[in-house]
Structure 1
Amino acid sequence: MPVHGARRWSSAASAVAASVDLRGWVKNQGGFVWSGLHVVHSGSSHGMGLVATQDLPQGSTIITLPRRIPMPMPDPENAAVLAPSEGVICEIANRVPEELWAMRLGLKLLYERAQKGSYWWPYISMLPHSFTLPIFFSGVDIESIDYAPVTHQVKKRCRFLLQFSSELAKLESLPEEIHPFAGQFVDSGALGWAMAAVSSRAFRIHGVTNKLCSAMMLPLIDMCNHSFQPNAHIEEDLSRDAQDVSFLKVVTKRNLEKGSAITLNYGPLSNDLLLLDYGFVIPDNPHDRIELRYDGSLMENARMIAGLSRTGSPPFSSPASWQVDRLKQLGLADSGESQKVTLGGPEEVDGRLLAALRILHAESQEPLERRELVSLQAWGVESMVSSDNEERVLRTLCGLGAIVFNQFKTTIEEDEAKLSDKSLAETSRIAVQFRLTKKRLVVRVLESLKKRLMDLRAVRAEFQ
């Protein structure tokens, strides 16, 4: 099975050598590593990964980790058993926004890296020295991403790292015995390395109550690359209260043939998150979306591009009061985070955007009174206000897709030509690949909308 998503590594030869010691360490700590499991470096396009060197049947265990091996964030509720320096780590981590959860565990990683004789040193010593995440891109490559939601997040993360490193500089006054980094100065580069190591490798494990636990670093398991059709999955041992039993294990979901890469599903992630946290993108990602901010003027422009007259209804930028009431129920009448809508993903069009356009194209509120708001957010004959309304909605969505597509500074052909240049730097290549996936996503959405429009017209013609 091909590896669909793999993180880039530096120092590949030394990393492979270190991984041999890591496998031995896992075994020495009471874990299990299947003898046919090998670490490989498959080049710059796929990085490091785990491969089966023998056939293996479905349901076989590949890796088992006892509970002492995963590296979690210290629990502040167990302050009585924490070292004073670990208590400082917990206090610092509380200053980090929840959305940057990787930085919280990254502080623990930096803490362990600074400790002499750290239990996790065999694992930490084989981590990559550098990553190709956007926070390490040049300014030119960041702008080359050409997609505002992601460039905004990259710049936001970079600003945080600079500001947070200034805060950590104040720790210099602490005695070395309680300094979380053993008196070492942690700059923005070290913080970025730790955040990248965690975001691209940590897992969030669900307990028996299905409650989300804090993120954990899972040595060796985190070398499995990503696929939306994985051949293995992580199982949690339900008897994990015992200290000496297995905590987590990787088990095959189907028969593996010799040479198969071991893959896990990191989750239904968009290319935005894959790029920001892992440093790669997936062509034709079924979970990818284009993020937009709902705006009446934007919808009005989309209607005009579609060649639609208003037929007596008010401009989308100044909807009637009964339309405003419905938009408020959708959370689209006021400014704020709730106004984010999307194109793409399994549903093709954000349900709230679909409902909003059906409301805006309605000539009166009477037909809407027979429709529940939930129904308006779905595709299907039962959800239509009328066939004429639906045609206008689909044409407006096509106009919106055209606006989005034309906002990119380059064409698909120009991006493809750039990617054919073998001298293109790796970070530049990733940036171009990302924006190309977004353009192709818009094209796929437009093709799907046009098909829906043709099908609708065919049905209408049949009954005329």
Structure 2
Amino acid sequence: MVEKVAPPSTKVIGNEAKEKFLAWADSEQGFQVSPDVDLFHAFSEGYRGVVATKDIPRDAVLVRIARTCCLGPETTDESKESWTKAMSTSAVDATKTIQGNSSKPPAPRLTRACLTVLRLLHERGLGESSPFHSYLSVLPQDHRLPLEWTGAEVGLLQGTSAEPLVGAGSLDSQFEAFQRVVAQHPTVWAPSVCTKAAFAKGVNWVRSRGFTVMGDPHMIPGADMFNHDPNKQSVQIGTDGEEHFVMKTVQPVKAGDEVFSSFGHISNAQLLNSYGFVLPGNPFDTVLIPTQLVVDTCYATFVTLEADKLGEAETKKTWEQRLAMFASNRDTDEGEQEAFVVSKYDLLPESLADMVQILTMSNDEEVVYATIAAVSQAKMGQYSPLLQDAKCNPGEGALGADARTLARMLVNEEKKVLQDLRLQLMSVILDDNENEDKDEDGGNNDNSGRGGIASGTIPDASEEKDTKKRRKG
């Protein structure tokens, strides 16, 4: 079974590197590229992709790659004995405590994915003597994932759904584990690939361009050159027997069209964190709305509704009682929810509407919807202020243009989701008001209160939730 881990869109490379790669592919038995595609088509926007050079039917094999042409933990060469010992050391070392002192935490262990990184770095350190040199030469040197950004650049992701993902992805422990293995087996890796920058680049390539095969990520040359678009997918990876991978079309492709793969139904935050790009109009985009932001906004609504009647002290006391009651009534299995996930497939999660209605204690749907709209507006204010101006602000010299551009793109896409939420709320309020007018005209005024929020917030809400469950399954 092969699971896509995925490549990002990559920058155009020189003709020399391109020709060397194609010559290497042609010389390798079991590596075949269809003459009906251009693997290195250069687009005017400055990136490359795979483009059909003639009409291609469904079920056509565009690339066939032998397993011997792939890079993974089991890849070997004349250094097989040293490599095997190094891998054995990394496995044993991971179970030991630092300097044998059981009072200290265990030493960081290398993940399975990092074993592929180590193999890639070994090959990179061999330079032109590596059989994979022509392949490694076409990998993007200047493409960065957030794990390679500076602290100031990561700060540009403030308030985005990518912020917690990037914050959890530190390289420090893995690099420390790598350094211990290198210290014990210095001949396996050239000094030039033992730096933190080189290690980070290796992680970048494996994370953004690898394919999971039997539990381990592998670098599969040729298969990693197809760009991502879930709406236009025309090719997917598969196997041909036990010894070959194939990229096969799942629908016809017209001459001149780009041939897209799909990395899955994932948000822009995930795309940025793992693959280093943002997809405009991503149908699977999401926004994280912190629970505390919802609480604070509900409190502002509550004060507006009750302060004149109760007074400041009594209003605060009543609010604290309400929060305590809400916390005690929550499902114990649910735990404390740190954020609500708003997506294009579920703009108004039922749990969010429930919380707002309970905390505001209002049966007026307009109050509830207006509060949620205020939450959406407040969320927009949580993004980094450094992204508001088109020009760089003073003191931004340390911010790379790529990081700034990607962060701004991510924020703009998330704001579109929030704007869709606000439009949905306005539409529901208008529909409810129109229905109330009709009921009053017909003498049949059904004042259903909260039930309208539960069942009438989003048209076809149950269908959307079923769709979401099927995607996850």
State the TM-score, normalized to the length of structure 1: 0.73
Change (3 A) 1:83 1:411: closer
Matched residues in 2 for 1:22 and 1:326: separation? Answer: 65
Name which of 136, 144, 159 aligns with 2:156.
Answer: 144
Aligned to 2:464: none
Name the counterpart of 1:35. Answer: 35
- Residue 215 of structure 1 aligns to a residue in which SS? strand
1:183-262 matches, cutoff 5 A:
186-204=194-212, 213-237=215-239, 239-240=241-242, 243=243, 246=244, 248-262=245-259
User: What is the alpha-carbon distance in structure 2 between the residues aligned to residue 417 and residue 120 of structure 1?
Assistant: 42
Name which of structure 1's ranges 219-228 and 41-50 shifts more when overlaid on structure 2.
41-50
Residue 324 of structure 1 deviates from its aligned partner by: 2.7
Matches within 5 A, 1:308-387: 309=305, 318-319=321-322, 323-329=326-332, 331-332=334-335, 334=336, 338-361=337-360
- Structure 2: how far apart are the matches of 1:139 and 1:358? 39
Matched, 1:84 2:112: no
Is 1:134 aligned to residue 135 of structure 2? no
Q: Following the alignment from structure 2 to structure 1, what is the Cα–Cα distance between the partners of residues 240 and 10?
A: 34
Residues 302 and 91 (structure 1 numbering): CA distance in 2 closer, same or farther, change over 3 Å? farther
Given that residues 16 and 41 in structure 1 are in contact (C-alpha distance below 8 angstroms), is that contact kept between their aligned partners in structure 2? Answer: no
Change (3 A) 1:281 1:123: same
The SS at the match of 1:403 is: helix
Structure 1 residues 129 and 328: CA distance shift in structure 2, 3 A: same
- Superposed, which structure 2 residues align to 1:6-155 within 5 Å? 6-9=8-11, 11-25=13-27, 28-43=28-43, 45=45, 47-74=47-74, 83-88=84-89, 90=91, 103-114=114-125, 118-147=130-159, 150-151=162-163, 153-154=165-166
Cα 1:171–1:237 change in 2 (3 A) is closer
Report the RMSD for the aligned CA atoms in angstroms.
3.9
The code of the aligned residue for 2:227 comes to N
Does structure 1 retain, via aligned residues, the 8 Å contact 2:206–2:219? yes
Which sections of structure 2, spanning at least 5 residues, go unmatched? 1-6, 96-106, 393-399, 441-473
Say if 1:284 and 1:441, in contact at 8 Å, map to a contact too: no
1:355-377 residue CA offsets vs partner (Å, 9 max, x unmatched)? 433444567xxxxxxxxxxxxxx
Instruction: Provide closer, same or farther for how the CA distance between residues 130 and 409 of structure 1 changes in structure 2, counting only shifts above 3 A.
Output: closer
CA distance change for structure 1 residues 23 and 195 in 2, over 3 Å: closer, same or farther?
A: same
Check 1:29–1:149 CA distance in 2 against 1; reply closer, same or farther (3 A cut).
same
User: What residue in structure 2 maps to residue 293 of structure 1?
Assistant: 290
The offset of 1:318, in angstroms, is 4.2
Q: CA deviation at 1:328?
A: 3.3
How far off is 1:221 after superposition?
Answer: 0.8
- Asked whether the 8 Å contact 2:39–2:49 carries over to 1, the reply is yes
1:444 corresponds to 2:420: yes
User: Which residue in 1 is equivalent to 2:397?
Assistant: none
**How big is the shift at 1:316?**
6.1
Q: Is the 8 A contact 1:115 1:182 kept in 2?
A: yes
Question: How far 1:31 sits from its partner (Å)?
Answer: 3.3
Find the aligned partners of 2:174 and 2:210 in 1 and give their Cα distance.
21
Which structure has the larger Rg?
2
Provide the rounded CA distance (Å) in 2 between the counterparts of 1:262 and 1:91.
44
Counterpart of 2:171, as a letter, is L
Residue 105 (structure 1) shift = 3.1
Q: Paired residue for 1:375? A: none
CA contact (8 A) 1:306 1:398 kept: no
Mapped contact 2:26–2:32 kept (Cα < 8 A): no
Residue 300 of structure 2 corresponds to 304
Q: How many correspondences in the alignment?
A: 404
The residue identity in structure 1 corresponding to 2:283 is: P
The answer as to whether partners of 2:229 and 2:261 remain within 8 angstroms in 1 is yes
CA deviation map 1:164-195 (0-9, x unaligned): 4445434454254xx54256661110111011
How many Å separate the matches in 2 of 1:139 and 1:300? 29
Q: Report the alpha carbon displacement of residue 440 of structure 1 after superposing the two structures with TM.
A: 2.6
Deviation at 1:198, TM superposition (A): 1.4
Aligned to 2:275: 278
- Cα separation, partners in 2 of 1:169 and 1:97, compared to 1, 3 Å: closer
The 3 A distance-change label for structure 1 pair 452 and 21 is: farther
- The alpha carbon displacement at 1:15 in A equals 4.0
Whole-angstrom CA distance in 1 between matches of 2:15 and 2:122: 26
Give yes or no for the alignment of 1:428 onto 2:404. yes
> Structure 1 182/136 Cα, relative in aligned 2: closer, same or farther at 3 Å?
closer
Contact in 1 for aligned 2:161/2:286 (Cα 8 Å): no
Looking at structure 2, the residues matched to 302 and 131 of structure 1 have their Cα atoms a distance apart, in angstroms, of: 43
Change (3 A) 1:305 1:319: closer
SS of residue in 2 equivalent to 1:39: strand
**8 Å contact kept, 1:33–1:64:** yes
| Amino acid in structure 2 at the alignment position of 1:85 | A
Contact 1:330–1:352 (Cα < 8 Å) also in 2 = no
Distance 2:93 2:222 in 1: 28
Whole-angstrom CA distance in 1 between matches of 2:435 and 2:73: 58
Show the counterpart of 2:431: 455
Task: State the distance in 1 between where 2:376 and 2:140 align.
Answer: 40
Question: What is the identity, as a one-letter code, of the residue corresponding to 1:69?
Answer: C
1:200-250, Cα deviation, whole Å (9 max, x unpaired): 211235x7xxxxx3322221010000101234232433743xx4xx3x322
Rounded Cα–Cα distance in structure 2 between residues aligned with 1:399 and 1:9: 41
Q: Does the 8 Å contact 2:228/2:260 carry over to 1? A: yes
Deviations 1:411-449 (A, max 9, x none): 99x55688xxxxx93443223222222223322221122
Cα distance 1:226–1:114, how it changes in 2: closer, same or farther (>3 A)?
A: same
For structure 1, the 5+ residue unaligned runs are 208-212, 364-387, 419-423
Secondary structure of 2:430 counterpart: helix
In 2: Cα distance, 1:147 partner to 1:17 partner: 44
Measured after TM superposition, the shift of residue 155 of structure 1 is: 5.5
Return the alpha-carbon distance in structure 1 between the equivalents of residues 11 and 294 of structure 2: 42
Task: Tell me the percent identity.
Answer: 18
Residues 436/169 of structure 1: CA separation in 2 closer, same or farther (3 Å cut): same
